[in-house]
Every structure is written in C-alpha cells, then in structure tokens.
C-alpha cells in the first residue's frame, strides 16, 4: 500500500508552503459556505469560506503539492451569488488538480457536477449525507468520478449522531469502502489528528485507514490549527514532527502490518466511551 495522501485546508500561502515542505500532498482551498452554517450552527467545525482569489494565490504558491478546491453544493443563481456553473468555471481558471463536490443528496447533483467540470480537473465527490449513502450504488455508476471521500462530520449530523467517528465504528464506512473497492475507486474519509491527540487519537484512525484500504485523509485542526499558531516556527515544528511520526507509523504498518480487527474493536470501544461522556 502506498502512503496515504495527506490534505490540509488553508488559504494562506505561507502556511501552504510550510505544509508542502513538510510533505502534505494536497493543499485544500475550501470555498464551501452555502448552507453550511445552517446545518453546522453552534458546532466546532471548520467553516472556511475561502474565495476564488484564494484559489489563485495558492495555485501560484505551491510547487509540488496538488491543488484541491472544494466548491459549494450544486446551486442556482441568487442575488447573493452566481450558480454552480459560474463558480466551477471560476475555479477552473486557476487550473486546480482536483475539485470536490460537497453535500449532495441526489444522483443528478453528481451528474451535474461531473458535466460542469467536463474532464478539466479530477472530480472528488464528498459523501456526507444519509441520502448519498442510500443512493451510493447509483452514484457509483456515473462515468467521470475520479475519487471519492466520506465526510464524517456532516454524515454524522445527517444520521443524528453525536460524534463524528460513529459512522466508522458502526460499519457505515466499512460498507461504503467495500463498494468503492468493487468499483476500483480510490477513496478517503474523515480527519486525522496527531498520532497521540484528539478524542480518538490519530494512531487508531490511521490504522483504520489501512484496514479499509483508504488512500487519502484530511489533516484536521487537532493536527495543526495554524490560525491560532503563535508563530510560523511553531507551525513548521508541528508539521515537521507530526508528519514524520505519521510516516514512521505508516512504514511500520507497510512492513510489519498490525492486528487491524483488534484496532477496530478498540475504536468501537473508545467511540462508545466518548458517547457516554456526551450526555
């Protein structure tokens, strides 16, 4: 298994350079905001609201990492913003490597997205609604999907869960992964904290990626919250140490393996314990 592709969300060129130099594979510009505040209001989630201008700045900054842009869900024009066609055309002017479609519920939305991108960037639908899970077999029949991702935050909200890793513990991600593998489709899921940080430490989550054959993961704010950093040196240290530790564990898993089923049982137990504290 190849190293998992690491993705980091930022619109700041100086942070993008630090992340790229530390080994982040994809710099993630996050333009999604339509409907996000409504469904995630009051939750401690990332609501970036990056812009087309940010896409251009990051495109001009990075040299080796891929440029990933998350657009808004498929939408019509209003007095506040243009429609999806206008938005995607604007993104494509800056030559992104990958465009991610968030929060879709229908097959038609994914078909529209693929048609609008029209092969000019790789397509990366983000499965994060109950409706998308229920229609996944039809969605996977669409030609032109290059990769796929499972977003645990919104998926948990969609199912009425209280903790983002519940879909990993309850078998939802397992069932999706089986379908992705059957289609030969590269996929990723969730967010990853530093190996020893987070309510569910990153070491357990990384082993779940290996158990499921995942190919990509977003480095979360629990890995590095650059917006609250004391200095760029602090950010460089966090990325340098954190990614080195992560890759070291990957090398160990690639050469020695692990008891992945036991790790999954531990994850289920820990998720249960976390839920017990969330009264």
- If one counts the domains in the chain, the total is 1
The tally of CA atoms less than 13 A away on the side-chain side of residue 212 is: 33
Rg (CA), the chain: 18
What is the model's pLDDT at position 37? 64
What is the model's pLDDT at position 36? 72
Q: Are 16 and 232 in contact (CB under 8 A)?
A: no
What is the model's pLDDT at position 40? 54
Nearest-angstrom CA–CA distance, 176 and 27: 25
Q: Which CATH number covers residue 164?
A: 3.20.20.60
Tens-binned pLDDT, residue by residue, of the chain (279 aa): 899 999 999 999 999 999 999 999 999 999 999 987 665 554 445 556 899 999 999 999 999 999 999 999 999 999 999 999 999 999 999 999 999 999 999 999 999 999 999 999 999 999 999 999 999 999 999 999 999 999 999 999 999 999 999 999 999 999 999 999 999 999 999 999 999 987 899 999 999 999 999 999 999 999 999 989 889 999 999 999 999 999 999 999 999 999 999 999 999 999 999 999 987
Domain with 246, as residue range(s), is 5-277
What is the model's pLDDT at position 38? 64
What is the model's pLDDT at position 149? 98
Provide the CA 32 distance to its chain's centre, in angstroms: 13
């Amino acid at each position: 298994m190849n190293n998992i592709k690491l993705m980091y969300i930022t619109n700041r060129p100086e942070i993008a350079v630090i992340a790229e130099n530390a080994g982040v594979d994809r710099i993630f510009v996050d333009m999604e905001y339509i409907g996000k505040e409504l469904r995630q209001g009051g939750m401690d989630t990332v609501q970036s609201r990056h812009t087309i201008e940010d896409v251009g700045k990051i495109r001009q900054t990075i040299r080796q990492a891929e440029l990933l842009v998350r657009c808004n869900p498929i939408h019509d024009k209003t007095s506040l913003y243009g429609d999806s066609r206008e938005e995607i055309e604007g993104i494509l002017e800056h030559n992104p490597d990958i465009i991610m479609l968030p929060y879709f519920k229908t097959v038609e939305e994914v078909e529209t997205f693929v048609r609008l991108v029209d092969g000019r960037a790789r397509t990366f639908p983000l499965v994060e609604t109950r409706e998308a899970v229920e229609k996944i077999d039809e969605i996977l029949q669409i030609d032109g999907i290059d990769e796929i991702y499972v977003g645990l935050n919104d998926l948990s909200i969609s199912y009425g869960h209280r903790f983002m890793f519940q879909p990993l513990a309850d078998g939802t991600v397992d069932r999706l992964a089986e379908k992705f593998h059957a289609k030969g489709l590269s996929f990723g899921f969730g967010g990853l904290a530093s190996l020893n940080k987070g309510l569910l430490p990153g070491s357990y989550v990384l082993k779940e990626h290996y158990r499921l054959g995942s190919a990509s993961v977003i480095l979360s704010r629990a890995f590095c919250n650059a917006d609250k950093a004391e200095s760029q040196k602090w950010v460089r240290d966090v990325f340098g140490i954190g990614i080195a530790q992560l890759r070291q564990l990957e090398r160990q898993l690639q050469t020695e393996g692990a008891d992945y089923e036991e790790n999954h049982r531990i994850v289920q137990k820990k998720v249960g314990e976390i839920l017990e504290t969330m009264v």
